[in-house]
Amino acid sequence: MFEPVLTRNIHRPDSEKISVYLAHGGYQAARKALTLAPEEIIEMVKRSGLRGRGGAGFPAGVKWGFMPRDADVQKIVAVNTDEGEPGTFKDREIVESDPHQVIEGVIIAAYAVGASRAYVYIRGEFFLGVKRWIKAIADAYEHGYLGENILGSGLNLDMSVHRGAGAYICGEETAMLESLEGKRGNPRLKPPYPAQTGLFGLPTLVHNIETLTCIPNIIERGSAWFAGIGTEESKGPKIFSVSGHVKHPGNYELPLGIPLREIIYEHAGGIRGGQKLKAIIPGGTSTPMLTADQIDVPMAFETLKQVGSELGTGAIIVMDESTCMVEAARRLSKFFAHESCGRCTPCRIGSQRIFEILDRMEHGKGKTGDIDLILELVQGIDGQTFCPMGAMLVNPPRSAIQRFREEFEYHITHKCCLVDAMDG
Amino acid sequence: MATVNISVDGKKIQGETGQTVLQVAREAGIYIPVLCDHPALPPEGACRICLVEIEKQGTLQPACTFPATDGLVIHTNTERVRASRKFNLELLISDHPLDCMTCEATGDCLLQDLAYEYSVEGDRFEGTKHHYSINDPNPFIQVDRNKCILCRLCVRACREINGVEAISVFYRGFGAYIGFGADSHMADSPCEFCGSCVAVCPTGALWPKMSLGKGRPWEVERIQTTCPYCGVGCQIILEVKDNEIIKVDSAWEGPSNHGWTCVKGRFGWDFVHHPDRLTQPQVRRYLLEGSQPKPGPADRHPEVAGDPWEWVETDWDTALDITAQKFRQHRDESDPRSVGVLTSAKCTNEENYLMNKFTRQVIGTNSIDHCARL
Ligand SMILES: Cc1cc2nc3c(=O)[nH]c(=O)nc-3n(C[C@H](O)[C@H](O)[C@H](O)COP(=O)(O)O)c2cc1C
Ligand code: SF4
Ligand code: SF4
Ligand code: SF4
Ligand code: FES
């Protein structure tokens, strides 16, 4: 049985409180890190194999290495708690139940890259999360883990919380920086990357909070421990948010590389109501769907890529055989059309057209040629947008059509749903 | 600046580090179509019309933002590139009124030109279209959001050229539109009606009200000239049809204004053909008739023919003779200091210099000032 690490505290009463965190070994990793040389810490993170948990899976240590060494330039850590990807609810649980573990990760990251300022960006709807962040930061200041000369190490670090106003795109790191600066949340042109020119033009290290949560554990238990968990290219523990038609939806911390089947059937209790499994979105709504026969895939970056999908945020959405795939694609496309920032042509208009076509199909008004029209839109949008959103929004409709084309055809020719028809 | 060597459509060309692929290509005279790029403004990468194929890049890349680096091999007109451009144009057209027949911008519209070049079909991606009201109650600029392609050139022009930030984008996705101030009318925003936004708009979304219905681009003569309003000497391009100024365009090479103008230089042209405009010098009747003593206020009878105060048209020689004679009279009979001169920022430096000489040396007073206000 895998021992949870990142979520080891969350079931304790008052786990969000600094007293509880300290009583269970909290801030020991920060103490230890502050005695090491920054380069040593960066080396440890590199050796651990930790990859970002915000969706893109970029190697964390490499990103730390991109931060300029120049001591004269102020540097920033930006903490991404936007968690907009539907199906993902791990970050919310982390901040609500164990915010100090993240702060500890921020302290270590700030020390390693020479940052003196940390900004938290949190999704506006996370009311409890905002409160927990603010309280935790205040308590950390009071106990000397934030502020000037932290634990006598000479490290100065100020930290504050900024609430977003509810836009998926503000989770994208450069849009988040724009929003933090008080501007409209549009993605920025890259390069320059945030590590060169980030918040207010200063070098900025952006991380998802699950990634930051891994840091104190790597310091405490060592890179070899972390790298010993998982697969060749996917190391460490991972929190999988499981939702949809399972008996026990929730967050499950498990080693990367665990087969999808095990998560669904052993941890989430299998499909509810004795139904059959139909489709799975393995990494949040922006990742391509899988079919029931792909369920033995190990949940790792490289293995999911091999089966035509992605690990994304590790949010697993399970759909049983009562699910209409046209309706599923329609709803997902509605989300992306609603969340497009509107900057570039293919995403702004293309996402709307995909939704409209799926909407008319779902309502019995689909036309011959509509499937090809969607595929044409998908091809035109994919990889040709200003930010990665375009490549993300095409995944639900494309994968649904690739894997369940007959349902789309049935909707068009019979003006009704194949799933309903089979139910009799 | 280090030199970079790139190859575009088999042609080896050179640029400098820091330039984009589009800039280097443009300087070499290679055409890459754009909608959201303007040489006077920072790139935006929004329209995706300038996508080109760059070897070793998995996806098409926007020429307008892609940094030119040594060794890039670029293809600007492959089938893949053309298909992508056509796709994006067809998306834009799918939310466009397609009323080119009556549109002011016909013949002067980048979208129309590209739609033609790429043989786009208007109904490929048929769907919801926007129907915005075109009522913006200001005297100068018509705002037709139905024709807007959200290239944000206007947003950048207002920010970078006029430095005002009156325009921004409101809402997001398909619901995004350009708006003014706090999503209000232009006149309620910080807008100064410099018209820079109009000058860069690639479509008919922003258009001078004074030009509506006045003529087609192919009917006008474009005349570059110096704005007569002030001493800054902005270069402007007058669009003239049948000897009437119907529009003003930016002269981007103008050394003192680089395409910018103020509200007067852009829109203040109704005086040229105004019926009240003075076209001949005029003098008071009593001055014309020579020896008459100056009449008093009680002698003012505007309704009676022969009123001594009446303005009468005359020729320049007569008018100037009278003026010179009056100056001399005041200088010689009273005191040079009884004369004061106020010059104008509307005059050129040379004119102001001459007035300075005239005041101090010919009249003999130091009482000369300048409005320095407009
Ligand atoms: C459209 C879009 C939305 C994103 N939303 C989030 C988000 O809500 N939370 C997050 O941590 N990362 C999000 N990301 C990923 C971030 O851009 C960035 O890669 C991440 O925060 C980096 O942290 P990591 O290296 O720790 O994963 C999003 C990316 C895109 C393109
Ligand atoms: S792809 Fe374009 S419109 Fe879509 S979110 Fe990114 S920048 Fe905005
Ligand atoms: S007229 Fe000038 S100030 Fe007004 S919105 Fe246009 S660019 Fe800005
Ligand atoms: S109004 Fe014109 S310049 Fe402004 S975004 Fe629309 S099309 Fe572009
Ligand atoms: S001109 Fe390059 S994206 Fe618009």
Taking CA atoms, B140 is separated from B186, B206, B267, in Å, by 10, 10, 7
In angstroms, rounded to a whole number, what is the distance separating the alpha carbons of residues A381 and A391?
Answer: 7
Q: Which two tokens stand for residue A165?
A: 């106003």
Intrachain domains B3-77 and B126-267 with the same fold: no
Taking CA atoms, B302 is separated from B281, B293, B297, B298, B307, in Å, by 19, 18, 11, 11, 6
Alpha helix (H) ranges present in B95-207?
Answer: 110-117, 153-156, 196-200
The radius of gyration of chain B's CA atoms, rounded to the nearest angstrom, is 28
Task: Decide yes or no: CATH 2.60.120.10 for domain B3-77.
Answer: no
Asked if the Cβ–Cβ distance from B169 to A384 is below 8 Å, we say no
- Note down pLDDT in tens along chain A; length 424 residues: 799 999 999 999 999 999 999 999 999 999 999 999 999 999 999 999 999 999 999 999 999 999 999 989 999 999 999 999 999 999 999 999 999 999 999 999 999 999 999 999 999 999 999 999 999 999 999 999 999 999 999 999 999 999 999 899 999 999 999 999 999 999 999 999 999 999 999 999 999 999 999 999 999 999 999 999 999 999 999 999 999 999 999 999 999 999 999 999 999 999 999 899 999 999 999 999 999 999 999 999 999 999 999 999 999 999 999 999 999 999 999 999 999 999 999 999 999 999 999 999 999 999 999 999 999 999 999 999 999 999 999 999 999 999 999 999 999 999 999 888 887 5
Taking CA atoms, A353 is separated from A384, B131, B258, B372, in Å, by 16, 17, 40, 56
Coil, strand or helix: which one is B338? helix
Contact at 8 Å (CB) between A257 and A234? yes
Pairing of strands B3-8, B73-75: parallel
CB within 8 Å of B177: residues ≥ 6 apart: B130, B132, B145, B148, B150, B169, B170, B171
What chain A holds in terms of domains, given with CATH numbers, is 18-227 (3.40.50.11540), 237-320 (3.10.20.600), 325-423 (1.20.1440.230)
CB within 8 Å of A228: residues ≥ 6 apart: none
What is the rounded average pLDDT of the residues B286-308?
84
In angstroms, rounded to a whole number, what is the distance separating the alpha carbons of residues A8 and B347?
Answer: 80
CB within 8 Å of B14: residues ≥ 6 apart: B3, B4, B5, B6, B24, B28
The pTM of the whole model exceeds 0.90: yes
Say which CATH architecture domain B126-267 belongs to: 2-Layer Sandwich (3.30)
**Residue B95 near chain A (CB below 8 Å):** yes
Q: Which two tokens stand for residue B119?
A: 């043989």
Task: Identify all chain B residues contacting A367, using CB atoms and an 8 Å cutoff.
Answer: none
In angstroms, rounded to a whole number, what is the distance separating the alpha carbons of residues B244 and B228?
Answer: 16
Asked if the Cβ–Cβ distance from A349 to B174 is below 8 Å, we say yes
Model ipTM value: 0.94
Specify the ligand 5 atom closest to the Cα of B63: 2
Residue B177: how many other CB atoms lie within 10 Å: 17
Lowest model confidence (mean pLDDT) among A277-281, A332-336, B227-231, B351-355: B227-231
Q: What is the pLDDT of residues B21-73, one digit of tens each?
A: 999 999 999 999 999 999 999 999 999 999 999 999 999 999 999 999 999 99
In angstroms, rounded to a whole number, what is the distance separating the alpha carbons of residues A124 and A126?
Answer: 5
- HSE (CB half, 13 Å, CA atoms) of B363? 25
Query: Is pLDDT of B171 > 90?
Result: yes
Query: Is pLDDT of B204 > 50?
Result: yes
Ligand 2 pocket test: pick from A385, A393, A394 the residue with the most ligand atoms within 8 Å of its Cβ: A385
Ramachandran quadrant class, A121 (left: phi over 0; alpha: psi -120 to 50; beta: rest): beta
Coil, strand or helix: which one is B142? strand
CB within 8 Å of A269: residues ≥ 6 apart: A246, A247, A248
Taking CA atoms, A367 is separated from A419, B195, B197, in Å, by 19, 45, 41
Domain segments of chain B as ranges? 3-77, 126-267
Q: What is the pLDDT of residues B139-166, one digit of tens each?
A: 999 999 999 999 999 999 999 999 999 9
Q: Which two tokens stand for residue B57?
A: 């890049």
Residue B294 pLDDT class (50, 70, 90 cuts)? confident
> Would you call A195 exposed, middle or buried from its count of C-beta atoms within 10 A (0-12, 13-18, 19+)?
buried
Tell me A251's DSSP state: E
Indicate which residue's Cα is closest to atom 6 of ligand 3.
B197
**Residue B93 near chain A (CB below 8 Å):** no
Residue B347 is predicted with a pLDDT of 83
Contact at 8 Å (CB) between A312 and A55? yes
Ligand 3 pocket test: pick from B143, B156, B193, B210 the residue with the most ligand atoms within 8 Å of its Cβ: B193
Coil, strand or helix: which one is A394? coil
For B5, list phi and psi in degrees, rounded to 5: -110, 125
Asked if the Cβ–Cβ distance from B43 to A189 is below 8 Å, we say yes
Asked if the Cβ–Cβ distance from A353 to B125 is below 8 Å, we say yes
Asked if the Cβ–Cβ distance from A383 to B125 is below 8 Å, we say no
Q: Compare CB distances from B169 to A184, A349, A380 and report the shortest one's residue.
A: A184
Distance B98 CA to ligand 4 centre (A): 16
Q: Which residues pair with A160 in a beta bridge?
A: A119
In angstroms, rounded to a whole number, what is the distance separating the alpha carbons of residues B250 and B257?
Answer: 9
